[in-house]
Amino acid sequence: MHPRTLLRPILTLATTAALAAGSLALAPAAPAVAAPPAVHADPVGLNAPYEYLGWGSPQKPTDVMAATGIKQFTLAFMLSDGGCNPAWDGSRALAGGGDQSAINSIRAAGGDVVVSFGGWSGAKLGENCSSAGALAGAYQKVINAYKLKAIDIDIENTEVSNATVRQRVISALKTVKTTNPGIKEYVTFGTTTTGPDSDGTDLIRKGAAAGLAVDGWTIMPFDFGGHSGSMGSATTKAADGLKNAVASAYGYDAATAYRHIGISSMNGVTDESDESVSTADFTTVLNYATTHHLARFTFWAVNRDRACSGGASAGDSCSGIGQSSYAFTKLIAKYHG
């Protein structure tokens, strides 16, 4: 409920006299105006598409916000500088550069960001930090630099395939949760058509064993190496498998498990030339996410959310399919949990 304040006119002595003499009529009282409804603030990371500022002709984030209504971005990627020290793409400093300027501009426009650590290529902090404590310290440097409310650990390739590193990441995230009450943590990894593979399942089990309350265990449902049916259907089946893995590890009921999982799709032609995700597939996933109140719905990447010019194929900066600009980002912006 929003209280209203009714401003009452102060009558001067002259006005009072005029009223008494009948020479001044009171104007009808203006109708009370209700305060505007509170704007619903989505949790940071709920609907934050990836944008890679060091790759793929990145668009100006505030232009994307104005065109789509999106308020959040997952900015990629925070990597190792060769040791246990975080840097954008392993080379750009946290402070004073274009990355910080982009974050400042997003926030000035009423939005916010998640910083994503990892990705497929490059030197990973999980592998280059020698202990969970050191890794937690590296994550904390970034959290402090940008006063983050959410982080994403995109654990792929050699980082996810190493059991020691998987445990190191889980233990570091447990420390970060303790140090930063209320911070959102998303863990993102690949999947099969039926749910997480053995590495992903082990990661979830390690999280449960550590008592780590991950806010959104998130799969990347593409690069399947073959699937049946539409990519929308394949995505929801993989997400059901993720839900089952999280429910089994944590002892959650189905509804609770759904609220702790997420989907990070890819728009257009994926890394496999015979696999393509359409806006119709995204609509299927949007409806699924809304029905089950998923913790997260995002995609890779804003950079690619436009048609290719001159008949070019999909790449860093376009989707490889016929689409209007930001068609996928506009669908993501409709998701509110």
Q: Active-site residue numbers?
A: 156
Residue 153 in tokens: 């650990």
Q: Is 116 strand, coil or helix?
A: strand
At what angle are helices 163-179 and 198-210 packed, to 10 degrees? Answer: 40
β-strand partners of 277: 268
Q: Is 129 strand, coil or helix?
A: coil
- Of residues 48, 178, 177, the one with CA closest to residue 113: 48
8 A C-beta contact, residue 158 and residue 128? no
Count helices and strands (H / E) in the chain: 12, 11
8 A C-beta contact, residue 211 and residue 202? no
CB atoms near residue 185 (< 10 Å): 23
Q: Is 224 strand, coil or helix?
A: coil
CB atoms near residue 105 (< 10 Å): 14
